[in-house]
Amino acid sequence: MKIKTSLILASIVALLFNIQCKREVNTYPEIEKKSEKTENQDGISENKNTQFDELTVDNEPETKVSTIEEKNAVQFQELTIEDGFDIDLRYATKNNFTKQKIYDCARCYLRPEVAENLLKAKEELQQKFGYSIKLFDCFRPRPYQQKLWDIVPDADYVTPPSKGSMHSKGLAVDLTLIDKNGDELDMGTPFDFFGKEAHYDYPHTDAIKRNRWILKSTLEKYGFGGIRTEWWHFSYRKTAYPLDDWVWECNE
C-alpha cells in the first residue's frame, strides 16, 4: 500500500513539473508573434519588432551643421580688422559708383587659400614698407551680383551674372595700400574709377607708378593676378571654385 501511495505521489509531482515547464516556455508568446514581416510605405517587406519600438535608441549623433557654420569652417574664411585689415566694403554703403547699397552688411569673405595668401602678402607689405591693406570688396554672392547688374546692366562696368564674376567665386578682391596712419596711398584714381587713368599702364607720376608696382608685385608673389583696366582688382590664380549663391548673415 505504501508503495502504491509513493507511486501516485511521484506521478502527481511529475505532472505538476511538466505543467510548470510549459508555462515558462510560453511566458513571452506575444513577443515572438510580433517579430514578423511587415511592409513599409514603399511596399518593401522588412522585419520589425514592434514590441521594442519604444526602446530603440539612435546612437548616431546629429551631423548637420548650420549654413553659416559650414561656410565659415569649410568653404569661406572671414577677414576682419582683427586680422590687421582696414575694411571698407563700398557695396555695403551708398559710397560706390551705383550710389545705392548693394550688400545688406559689410563682411569680407574669401576662399580659405585666398584669405591665407592675402594675409601673407599683407605681412610682407608691413615688414618691407610699413604698409597695410584696405579692402573695398571681397566675395560677392551671385544674388548681389544680380542686384548690381539690375542697377547697371552694362558689361563694360559690371560682369553679367550669367557669365559670373571672380568675386562671386570668392577668388577676387578689390583693395589698396594704406600707410601707418591709415591713409590711402596715391594710386592715381579712386576705387571703381572707370576711365583710362585707372589702367595699370597709364603714364602717371613716378610716385603713383611706384605705389601701384608695390601692390601688384607683392600680390603676384602670393598667387594673385591683376587686370589691365583696374589697378585695385586682383584674382587668385592657383585654384578654382564655382560661382556661389550663399549670402552671409548680418549681426547688426
Question: 235: which DSSP letter?
Answer: E
Output the CA–CA distances (angstroms, integers) from residue 19 to 6, 10, 26, 29, in the order listed: 20, 14, 11, 16
Is 70 annotated in the active site?
A: no
For 114-179, give the DSSP string.
HHHHHHHHHHHHHHHHS-EEEEEE----HHHHHHHHHH---TTTS--TTT--GGGGT-EEEEEEE-
Q: Torsion angle, CA of 188/193/194/195, rounded to 10 degrees? A: -30
Candidate list 54, 124, 230, 249, residue with the active-site label: 230
Q: Write out the three cell numbers for 140.
A: 560677392
117 vs 83: CA distance, rounded Å = 13
**Crossing angle for the helix pair 206-221 and 112-129, nearest 10 degrees?**
130
Three-state SS at 71: helix
Output the CA–CA distances (angstroms, integers) from residue 183 to 106, 197, 232, 247, in the order listed: 20, 21, 16, 31
141 vs 110: CA distance, rounded Å = 11
Catalytically annotated residues: 230
